[in-house]
């Protein structure tokens, strides 16, 4: 079993005001408030004389989209290196096949519980029947079907890159945009990782390089996450301008049902599972909270992956050899928020909004899609893909997705936080059941020092209480 010890650092001598101002959570909260205010001002200003977005609106849109672009740019190398490294690490673990099977089983169990909670809330709260006036469907920017999901698993190229060209007839020009398919990257990474294990000793330099590259990418990703307050300011402000405050508040019942469901899973279901395995609920939350905080504000399970893996090893006592497999796997397939609670309540919302009565078989299909189809979210902000997959399976109008896009950024924060909490929970439970959990480390006093970096990394600092972890 891998043992990990925390390295203490000099006491934090910052005053209370400086602690507050430098707190990551406080910075994000300020960014949220300023973003809403800036959005209201931009909405009030209206378009300029030429009918285009005013300067404030254009600035907010650019800031928000630029941050999302930065986050997406790190996804491809991070997913590839994390999956390859996680698979290669299985060669160091005894009973690797059993651990992998137990991990997938508990992924399914927790997803099943989450989707049942979502269905109960959707039927009880009736968010579709309580929707405000003036809601009109818009075109969803992504559509998921089982056929697209299955065909999307086949890599078109090594990097999973796709290109799309649009023509502007009036301007007489064409523009091409490059995208990527995370599912295809995962398939390629899994194949490369398994091949490297089969090659054996001659693949050791490649695996060492991959693990080193992963550390470098994690450091760059941390820099991107650290500027999340700026991105949050732009994203929230742009959402208010684009959709308007009235439309945002018209979905209050739906948003409330989602957050109640997320809270039940995070603060009731997960603690019950922790307690039934003989572990401390307090230690779980104090251990996982740095990752949950970063996930809430970054809105990306993959973007939070370095922090999630670190707290799972350093705070919760899961052996590194197992955590380096289970956490990256969870970051791409374990989505209790995006793939269970959200599509369940959202599908019921769409049915209620259009006056469609769901049958018992359709409720069973919601459960099946949520438990089996989680990989369709692929660790990014992909809940819309999961929702369209659910709606197409149930035969519900895909136009209903557009009704919910206005508040999706707000919902995505809570969804991702629950996703990440579950991605750390399952490896902890499995490690405890298999007798490989470092219980002493799990129960260790934290005292505002959630974890320390590798002793060889002299630059790393342990965050003060209330701040995200340094990666």
Per-residue pLDDT of the chain (471 residues; tens, 9 = 90+): 444 444 444 455 666 777 667 676 678 788 888 988 998 888 888 777 666 778 888 888 888 888 877 877 777 787 788 788 878 877 766 677 788 889 989 999 999 999 999 999 999 998 888 776 555 544 444 444 556 556 666 777 666 666 666 666 666 676 666 666 666 777 788 888 889 888 888 988 998 898 899 888 878 877 887 787 888 888 888 877 876 656 666 788 898 999 999 999 999 999 999 999 999 999 999 999 888 988 887 777 877 888 898 899 989 999 988 888 888 888 877 888 888 899 899 999 988 888 888 888 888 888 888 877 665 555 444 566 677 777 877 878 777 777 777 677 778 889 999 999 999 999 999 999 999 999 999 998 875 444 344 433 444 443 433 444 433
**Quick one: pLDDT at residue 222?**
76
Contacts of 440 (CB under 8 A, 6+ apart): 317
Task: Please say whether the beta carbons of 398 and 351 come within 8 A.
Answer: no
Query: How is 106-168 classified by DSSP, letter by letter?
Result: HHHHHHHHHHHHHHHHHHHH-TTTTPPTT------S----HHHHHHTTS-SSTT-EEEEEEEE
Query: How is 320-368 classified by DSSP, letter by letter?
Result: HHHHHHHHHHHHHH--TIIIIIHHHHHHHHHHHHTTPPPPHHHHHHHHH
- The helix (H) or strand (E) run that includes residue 64 is helix 55-73
Range 100-104 contact pairs with CB under 8 angstroms and sequence separation of 24 or more: 100/325, 102/430, 102/433, 102/434, 103/325, 103/326, 103/329, 103/330, 103/426, 103/427, 103/430
**Quick one: pLDDT at residue 454?**
43
Nearest to 83 by CA among 164, 188, 159: 188
CA angle 433, 436, 441 (to 5 degrees): 110
Biggest CA–CA distance in the chain, Å, is 69
Give the predicted TM-score (pTM) of the model.
0.74
Measured in whole angstroms, the distance separating CA 388 from the mean position of its chain's CA atoms is: 18
Measured in whole angstroms, the distance separating CA 174 from the mean position of its chain's CA atoms is: 34
What whole-number distance in Å separates Cα of residue 95 and Cα of residue 87?
14
Nearest to 435 by CA among 242, 278, 272: 278
- Sequence length of the chain is 471
Buried b or exposed e, range 303-318, using 16+ CB within 10 angstroms: bbbbbbbbbbbbbbbb
**Quick one: pLDDT at residue 13?**
62
The single residue listed with the structure tokens 């060889």 is 456
Task: Please say whether the beta carbons of 70 and 297 come within 8 A.
Answer: no
**Quick one: pLDDT at residue 132?**
60
**Quick one: pLDDT at residue 377?**
53
DSSP, res 462 = P
What whole-number distance in Å separates Cα of residue 182 and Cα of residue 194?
18
**Quick one: pLDDT at residue 431?**
95
CA angle 349, 352, 354 (to 5 degrees): 110
What whole-number distance in Å separates Cα of residue 382 and Cα of residue 255?
17
**Quick one: pLDDT at residue 274?**
97
Contacts of 101 (CB under 8 A, 6+ apart): none
Buried b or exposed e, range 201-229, using 16+ CB within 10 angstroms: eebeeebeebbebbeebbeebbebbbebb
Structure tokens at 111: 């997803």
- Which residues is 179 bridged to in the sheet? 162
Buried b or exposed e, range 82-102, using 16+ CB within 10 angstroms: bbbbbbbbbeebeebeebbeb
- Which residues is 175 bridged to in the sheet? 166
């Amino acid at each position: 079993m891998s043992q990990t010890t925390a390295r203490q650092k000099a006491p934090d001598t910052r005053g209370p005001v400086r602690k507050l101002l430098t707190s990551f959570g406080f910075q994000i909260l300020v960014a949220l408030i300023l973003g809403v205010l800036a959005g209201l001002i931009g909405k009030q200003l209206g378009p300029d004389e030429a009918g285009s977005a005013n300067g404030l609106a254009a600035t907010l849109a650019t800031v928000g989209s630029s941050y999302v672009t930065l986050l997406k740019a790190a996804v491809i190398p991070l997913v590839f290196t994390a999956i390859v490294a996680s698979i290669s690490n299985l060669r160091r673990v005894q009973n690797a096949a059993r651990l992998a099977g137990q991990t997938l089983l508990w992924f399914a169990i927790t997803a099943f519980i989450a989707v049942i909670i979502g269905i109960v809330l959707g039927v009880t709260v009736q968010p579709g029947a309580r929707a405000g006036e003036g809601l009109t469907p818009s075109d969803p920017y992504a559509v998921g079907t089982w056929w697209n999901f299955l065909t999307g698993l086949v890599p078109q190229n090594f990097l999973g890159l796709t290109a799309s060209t649009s023509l502007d007839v009036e301007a007489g020009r064409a523009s091409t945009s490059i995208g990527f398919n995370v599912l295809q990257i995962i398939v390629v990474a899994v194949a490369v990782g398994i091949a490297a294990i089969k090659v054996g000793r001659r693949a050791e330099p490649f695996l060492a390089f991959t693990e080193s590259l992963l550390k470098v990418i994690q450091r760059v990703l941390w820099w991107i996450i650290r500027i999340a307050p700026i991105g949050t300011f732009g994203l929230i402000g742009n959402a208010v301008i684009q959709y308007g405050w009235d439309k945002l508040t018209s979905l209050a019942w739906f948003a409330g049902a989602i957050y109640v469901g997320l809270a039940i899973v995070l603060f009731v279901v997960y603690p019950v599972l922790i307690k039934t395995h003989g572990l401390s609920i307090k230690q779980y939350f104090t251990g996982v909270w740095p990752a949950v905080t970063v996930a809430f504000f970054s809105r990306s399970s993959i973007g939070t992956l370095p922090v999630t893996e670190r707290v799972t090893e350093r705070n919760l006592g899961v052996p590194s050899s197992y955590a380096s497999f289970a956490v990256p796997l969870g970051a791409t397939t374990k989505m209790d928020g995006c793939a269970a609670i959200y599509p369940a309540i959202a599908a019921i919302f769409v049915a209620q909004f259009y006056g469609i009565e769901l049958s018992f078989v359709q409720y069973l299909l919601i459960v099946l899609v949520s438990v089996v189809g989680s990989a369709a979210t692929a660790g990014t902000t992909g809940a819309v893909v999961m929702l369209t997959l659910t709606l197409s399976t149930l035969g519900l109008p895909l136009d209903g997705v557009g009704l919910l896009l206005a508040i999706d950024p707000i919902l995505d924060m809570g969804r991702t936080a629950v996703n990440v909490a579950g991605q750390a929970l399952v490896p902890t439970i499995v490690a405890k059941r298999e007798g490989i959990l470092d219980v002493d480390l799990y129960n260790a006093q934290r005292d505002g020092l959630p974890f320390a970096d590798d002793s060889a990394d002299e630059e790393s600092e342990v965050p003060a209480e209330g701040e995200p972890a340094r990666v």
